[in-house]
Amino acid sequence: MGLLKLLFILVIFLFVSGEVIKIPLAGFSIKLSDVGIIALTIYWALYSVKNLKNVKINKKTGIPILTFVIFALLSLILNLRFLNINELFVSFLYLVRWIAYASIVFIIPIFDSSFKKIIIRLLIVIGVIVVVLGYIQYLFYPNLRNLYYLGWDEHLYRLFSIFLDPNFAGSFFVLYFLFTLNILIDSLKKHAKTFSLFLGLISSLTLIALFLTYSRSALLMLMVGSFVFLALNTKKIFAILIVVVFLLATTLLPKAYKTEGTNFFRIASSEARLSSTKQAIEIFGKNPIFGVGFNAYRYAKHRLGFAIGGWEESHADAGTDNSFLFVLATTGIVGLAAYLFMWFKILKINIRSKILIASASALFVDSLFINSLFYSFLMFWIWTLVGLYGE
């Protein structure tokens, strides 16, 4: 158990390595956080086999997760004829990674309550680190032009922190803001003035950082998440007022609406998302029942002529902007049904968890615009919330 706890702590701190540090492997690269979570899952699996009597898996959560895994694996097997050895290996690793992050919901319940409190404190710490690094990046490294050749967009005058993408950075800031806000409410109830002041400061800095990403999807995510969270905790009219204030705050941002990247009404990215949606629907149409294989999306795009030059390095070609369309295209109708059923069961079981319901609602809305449900750092966060606050 001691080593399992240490590995989990290691995974938490590997979070802050973000997209900056990667390990080259068989023609692609893998993030340190992915290496950590896979190592943690392997050790947990071995530990579970050795301690069967002490390890209990919640079947209400486990069966829906296993069902999706089976259909995702089946979708890949049915598309073997279209993939070479390397492509199959890379696609299979995506599934392994997803399983590893989902396993968090089975790992955390093993821990005692005191260690769960330590996890919460560590999540606060890494959130602070990510926010601070975001401000440093915004001031001294305002664009990614020098990394354009590696498949990254420029993101001029936008805060992107360790994620090298303002949209995913914005998504994390929303989840972290809701997380700190939830702890702040509990802290105020306990009259912990110093800790409440600290959390209030962190929440405010996170909110400002979020706006500096100039991410429309994150802004919408913030409004939905805040409305749901506040509506569950206070009066709905207060929740509506907060949403209006958030909208008005966009006009106060430096460079707001002055450049393509900082213009909330920008057209280029909207057109790119529409194009991505059309491609995903067309790819789904070729394999509507079981999809093109989880996650062989990049190779399907290339095979169908949607990805040409630099498609193997491009981050955009690895998936589509809409998480649900991504599941539909890669695992078909069967896989999407299993995936939706999985989340329905998880949220139904944990309907009383205000922070989990608010965070999931926000993430689902965000996933309509970027593939946030399958982004490793956001997967870690949401599965950790399910493990900590779920039943």
The full 3-state SS of 40-80, as one line of letters, equals HHHHHHHHHHHCCCCCCCCHHHHHHHHHHHHHHHHHHHCCH
Opening angle at CA 361, ends 357 and 365, nearest 5: 170
Question: In terms of C-beta density within 10 A (0-12 exposed, 13-18 middle, 19 or more buried), how is residue 140 classed?
Answer: exposed
Host H or E run for residue 12? helix 2-14
- Using CA atoms, how far apart are residues 68 and 61, in angstroms rounded to an integer? 11
- Using CA atoms, how far apart are residues 51 and 167, in angstroms rounded to an integer? 42
pLDDT tens figures, 176-218: 999 999 999 999 999 899 999 999 999 999 999 999 999 989 9
pTM for this prediction: 0.91
**Residue 295 located in a structural domain:** no
Token reading at 238:
């207060």
Token reading at 121:
């404190």
Q: Is the CB of residue 122 less than 8 Å from the CB of residue 12?
A: yes
How high is the mean pLDDT in each 10-residue block of the chain (391 residues)? 93 95 77 96 92 77 96 96 91 95 96 96 98 95 65 72 94 97 92 93 95 91 90 71 66 55 56 84 94 92 72 62 96 98 96 95 96 97 96 74
CA quadruple 253, 255, 256, 261: dihedral positive or negative? negative
- Using CA atoms, how far apart are residues 375 and 8, in angstroms rounded to an integer? 19
**Residues paired with 24 in a beta bridge:** 29
Q: What is the pLDDT of residue 307?
A: 62
Token reading at 364:
């689902």
**Residue 184 located in a structural domain:** yes
- Cβ neighbours around 161 below 10 Å, total: 29
- Using CA atoms, how far apart are residues 103 and 68, in angstroms rounded to an integer? 13
Q: What is the pLDDT of residue 149?
A: 44
Q: Is the CB of residue 376 less than 8 Å from the CB of residue 34?
A: yes
Q: How far apart are the first and last CA of the chain?
A: 21
- Cβ neighbours around 177 below 10 Å, total: 25
Q: Is the CB of residue 342 less than 8 Å from the CB of residue 64?
A: yes
**Residue 304 located in a structural domain:** no
Q: Phi, psi at residue 258, to the nearest 5°? A: -95, -25
Q: What is the pLDDT of residue 319?
A: 74
Q: Give 237-254 as a DSSP string.
A: HHHHHHHHHHHHHGGGST
- Cβ neighbours around 37 below 10 Å, total: 28
Contacts of 299 (CB under 8 A, 6+ apart): 82, 83, 87, 91, 292
**Residue 302 located in a structural domain:** no
**Residue 282 located in a structural domain:** no
**Residue 43 located in a structural domain:** yes
Number of structural domains the chain divides into = 1
- Using CA atoms, how far apart are residues 102 and 100, in angstroms rounded to an integer? 6
Range of the domain at 129: 2-270+309-389
Unique residue bearing structure tokens 């680190």: 129
Token reading at 367:
């996933």
**Residue 124 located in a structural domain:** yes
**Residue 284 located in a structural domain:** no
Opening angle at CA 222, ends 219 and 226, nearest 5: 150
